[in-house]
Homo-oligomer: A and B are copies of this chain.
Amino acid sequence: MSARSPLLDADAPSRPGGHHGRRQPHPGCEGCLTRSLAVCAALPAADTAEMEQAAGELRIQAGATLAREGAVRRDVYTVTRGMLRRVRLLPDGRRLVAGFLMAGDFIGFSGASHYRHTFEAVTDCALCVFSLQDMQQLCRSHPELEAGMLRQACAELDSTRSSLMTLARLTPVERLAGFLLDMAARQQRLGACADRVDLPMTRNDIADHLGLTIETVSRCFTRLKQDGMIEFDAPRLIALVQPAQLQTLAGSQAE
């Protein structure tokens, strides 16, 4: 529902529809924390040289726009640090957050010539950049990479289809329970502890992700707390006290 924050419009993009920050030479895959998670994991260690050459490193600040809906889709990215949101707006201001992107996630599974979403940094972020052209070239010369991309695209399809059930048929509390578990699982995969969730995004982002209003999201948090399923260390740091009960609430919907 929320209109775009004036803050985001203030710092206009340095390239038409492109990202802020400057593209730096890539520091190398060797020490990359996401090497085992991202699409590049499909390439054997011996073959990273060619990819490193095509890659650039990009750092953007919280609140900055990586790419704008409607802009020409020149680049694809792998998130290596931080969190972004995938946003789409309707002409009248209704907003959807189609997903949150974390370390290891790939931005670029699309057949469209223009971005179909705006990508905004929720926290400070670091990304691996490839020109779409280079990435396509890499895929042609390395079928294992293409296979890995297909595998990850399919995984993303599975997860997006699960979101359809969430939005179509789950109640607000069920949606929030599922969201907390989903975020917890993803953070755990990145090495965080299992029973605590960090939510860097605002309630507004959560609401627009779950198809609700901020008030409803807030009330659902309160209800989960009253029912003893969660506890607040801070509004954005939540302890999952009864993950099993949350799981039941969420309808046992995996990921």
Contact = CB atoms under 8 A, between A and B. Distances in A.
Interface residues of A, number: 42
Contacts of A168: 96, 167, 208-211
13 contacts: A90-B165, A90-B169, A91-B252, A95-B169, A110-B154, A111-B155, A111-B158, A112-B158, A140-B143, A143-B143, A146-B150, A150-B150, A164-B167
A160 B158 contact: no
Determine how many copies of this chain the complex contains: 2
Interface of A is mostly: helix
Given A143-B143, A146-B143, A147-B139, A109 B164 contact: no
A118 interface: no
A186 to B, nearest CB: 16
Interface string A4-48: 000000000000000000000000000000000000000000000
Given A147-B139, A157-B109, A169-B90, A164 B95 contact: no
A219 interface: no
A42 to B, nearest CB: 12
Interface in A73-126: 88, 90-91, 94-96, 98, 109-112, 116-117
A215 interface: no
Contact of A110 (B95, B140, B158, B164): B158
Contacts of A88: 165
A156 interface: yes
A161 interface: yes
Interface string A186-209: 000000000000000000000011
Nearest to A252: B91
A228 interface: no
A235 interface: no
Interface in A220-255: 251-252
Given A146-B143, A150-B149, A167-B167, A161 B90 contact: no
